[in-house]
Structure 1
Amino acid sequence: MARRRLTHEGTLVLDSEGLSKLLSDHEPVVALVAEGRKRGMEVVTSALPIIEAVPARTDQARLRWLLSGLRIAQVGDEEARAASSMLIAAGLHGHKYAIDAAVAELALRQQRPVVLLTSDVDDMTKLCGDRIRLIAV
């Protein structure tokens, strides 16, 4: 597999699938995160993907260690309202898109350039447009 290049500095955002694959040591995601860190990118995720991405049998000590290397962004009412507005603007609604919207809202307010590792490229494109770089994982 060809190695995908990330830009210098900025922010690398993980959605639920990106976090899940990092947790399961999925080689391409681990390599992208390592390359991002090497280039000075901050690695961040929303608090919500942790709920969705972590299987019940996950080793909790390993999970704590992995999360300690990420910035975990909280979702308060301001962020929730902004994510809800994004859903409406994109013509999306419902629980299927709720966490995606929270992650997209987070990505859009990070230091540029922003790269988002996601399994939902179509949905994230609807939510973020071309304002961030999406990499399918």
Structure 2
Amino acid sequence: MGRAQGQLSHGIVILDPEGLNGFVNNDPRGAGLVRAAQSRDTSVAVSDLTLVEAWHPKVRMDRFRWHASRLEVPPVTEAISWQAIDLLRNADLHAHKYAIGSVVAATSLGCTGPRIIVTSDVDDIDELCGDRGRAVGV
């Protein structure tokens, strides 16, 4: 007998750097969201740029790699890059400050089903995605 499908089944939860750090550091909110999504057979991902932004010298590399290995890591394709630019342009935001957030948003928008972005910048993600994705704060 299979698992009952939750409201996120066949969608995606994508983590921004703070969401990823919450997962790596076993923060109850961040790690809990990841575990809940995975228990519902929902894809949990991070952009490959998020890995770069989230890493810092106080993070144990073995722990960081182990947690990242539990997630999907879609590459930033040319299509995602152009979508991120369109999101920035439509929201009238500057790439210098919002580049990675726009890539995270564009990555989520390229997926089917419900899209949830776990972020510390809920307002920014809401501005970039509009009603096509949902931001959840960490």
TM-score by length of 2: 0.89
1:102, 1:129 → 2: CA distance? 15
- In structure 1, the residue matched to 2:44 is 43
- In structure 2, the residue matched to 1:123 is 124
One-letter code aligned to 1:72:
V
Question: Residue 62 of structure 1: CA displacement?
Answer: 1.3
One-letter code aligned to 1:135:
V
Identity across matched positions, percent:
36
- In structure 1, the residue matched to 2:58 is 57
Moved over 2 A (4+): none
The number of aligned residues is 132
Aligned 1:76-115 pairs, distance under 5 A: 76-115=77-116
One-letter code aligned to 1:7:
Q
2:112, 2:38 → 1: CA distance? 14
1:98, 1:135 → 2: CA distance? 19
1:53, 1:23 → 2: CA distance? 10
1:82, 1:8 → 2: CA distance? 23
Aligned-residue Cα RMSD (Å) equals 1.3
Q: Relative to structure 2, which stretch is displaced further, 117-126 or 52-61?
A: 52-61
Secondary structure class of the residue paired with 1:73: coil
Secondary structure class of the residue paired with 1:117: strand
1:111, 1:69 → 2: CA distance? 20
Gaps of 5+ in 2: 1-5
1:8 aligns with 2:25: no
TM-score by length of 1: 0.90
1:24, 1:95 → 2: CA distance? 28
- In structure 1, the residue matched to 2:20 is 19
- In structure 1, the residue matched to 2:31 is 30
